[in-house]
Amino acid sequence: MNLLNALTEQEKSYFLLLNSMRKQEPNEKGFSFVQTIVQFSSSPILLSLIVSCPKWYHTVEIKEALIENDVIPSNFATYLRKVLGVVDMFRELGITDSAARATLMKEARNEITSLRETDREFLKKLISGKAEYGPCGESDEAFEIRVERTHQDIFLTDQSFSFTG
């Protein structure tokens, strides 16, 4: 993997472990480990790997941890806040009166249309209570391409990054 050449020895071991874990069924112990990596890693490549795997990226906790990580570019953190803002809007729908609910629904729909397809799907699953993802079963080669693309999109593009589409 080309990405491994840019990593320290410790980061390489984490990368290989995460790459192995992505192929396994989700479990709480593994998720806690991934969340810790997101919170404390200074490696854009490790963070790109985690974002590239739906079973990790498509959780509120990982999105929140990504926002708090100083390595994440501000434009991507802003995008993640937007996704989590929609999550909060849907939580509010259950506790607001019907007059406010219509306004909130309209606002949520407007926000959702500006999100990437993967995040729109995440929100649909989350709202329907079916936000569970299985292993990332792609071949190592296909997944490496995905990680490289994610790394490019998040960390190597201009600040004009919108992450929509």
DSSP structural state of residue 25: P
Which of 129, 142, 119, 154 is CA-nearest to residue 46?
A: 154
Which of 38, 49, 59 is CA-nearest to residue 144?
A: 49
pLDDT value, residue 103: 86
Which of 50, 73, 84 is CA-nearest to residue 155?
A: 73
Asked if 155 and 44 count as a contact pair (C-beta separation under 8 A), the reply is: yes
- Domain regions of the chain by residue span: 2-156
3-class SS of residue 41? coil
| Residue 160 pLDDT grade (very low, low, confident, very high; cuts 50, 70, 90) | very low
pLDDT value, residue 1: 57
Residue with tokens 């854009």: 44
Classify residue 57 by burial, with Cβ atoms within 10 Å: 0-12, 13-18, 19+.
Answer: buried
- pLDDT (tens digit per residue) in 3-45: 889 999 999 999 999 999 999 999 999 999 999 999 999 999 9
Both tokens of 5, joined, read: 């050449």
Could you give the CA distance from residue 118 to residue 57 in angstroms, rounded to a whole number? 10
DSSP structural state of residue 26: P
With a cut of 60, say whether residue 61 has pLDDT above it.
yes
| Residue 159 pLDDT grade (very low, low, confident, very high; cuts 50, 70, 90) | low
pLDDT value, residue 164: 43
Could you give the CA distance from residue 148 to residue 60 in angstroms, rounded to a whole number? 23
User: What single string gives the DSSP state of each residue in 108-136?
Assistant: HHHHHHTS-HHHHHHHHHHHHT-------
Residue with tokens 């479990």: 27
- pLDDT (tens digit per residue) in 66-119: 999 999 999 999 999 999 999 999 888 877 777 788 888 888 889 999 999 999
Give the helix ranges, DSSP H, for 22-73. Answer: 28-40, 44-52, 54-57, 60-68
With a cut of 70, say whether residue 163 has pLDDT above it.
no
